[in-house]
Amino acid sequence: MSDVLNYDADCLFCKIIKGEIPSAKVYEDDLCYAFKDIDPQAPVHFLVIPKAHIPSCAAVTPDNSAMVAHIFEVIAKVTKEMGITDFRVVSNCGPQAGQSVPHLHFHVLSGRDMTWPPG
Ligand code: AMP
Ligand code: ZN
């Protein structure tokens, strides 16, 4: 795998990008990495993360927002290649909202009926 930008040695997802912790790759390019969630909440559940260490949605700025747009292009491409038409994209921001890993990530969930609002 290519080097993570702004590597944070204490960050789980930076370690995954570097290959220091194993993961099940779904997609990779120069800017982002997608891998299966270790604790899937739906038949399809993968995460898409920037290779740059961005802590959360709250740290998105004009300087890095093109990355977020790129990730959404990747989500559209990868789901299409998987034959998935119905899916949910979630990004938890902060512990009260359920964020457990402080490296920006987008959950992509599919393959079952989903309710709204989320818990
Ligand atoms: P969140 O709770 O929104 O911050 O999401 C973090 C996600 O990372 C959870 O769904 C975890 O199951 C997932 N996760 C934690 N460690 C790993 C790992 N080593 N490989 C894949 N997914 C992981
Ligand atoms: Zn990180």
% of the chain exceeding 70 in pLDDT: 96
- Give the residue, out of 35, 36, 47, 88, with the most ligand 1 atoms within 8 A of its beta carbon, to mutate for a pocket test: 47
Mean pLDDT across 72-81: 98
- Give the residue, out of 18, 20, 38, 106, with the most ligand 1 atoms within 8 A of its beta carbon, to mutate for a pocket test: 38
pLDDT given for residue 119 in this prediction: 86
Mean pLDDT across 64-88: 98
Please report, for residues 6, 25, 62, 77, 112, the alpha-carbon distance to residue 55 in angstroms, rounded to integers and kept in the order given.
11, 21, 15, 24, 29
1-12 confidence digits (pLDDT tens)? 444 578 899 999
Nearest CA to ligand 1 atom 1: 99
pTM of the predicted model, to two decimals? 0.96
Ligand 1 pocket member 110 (CB < 6 A) = no
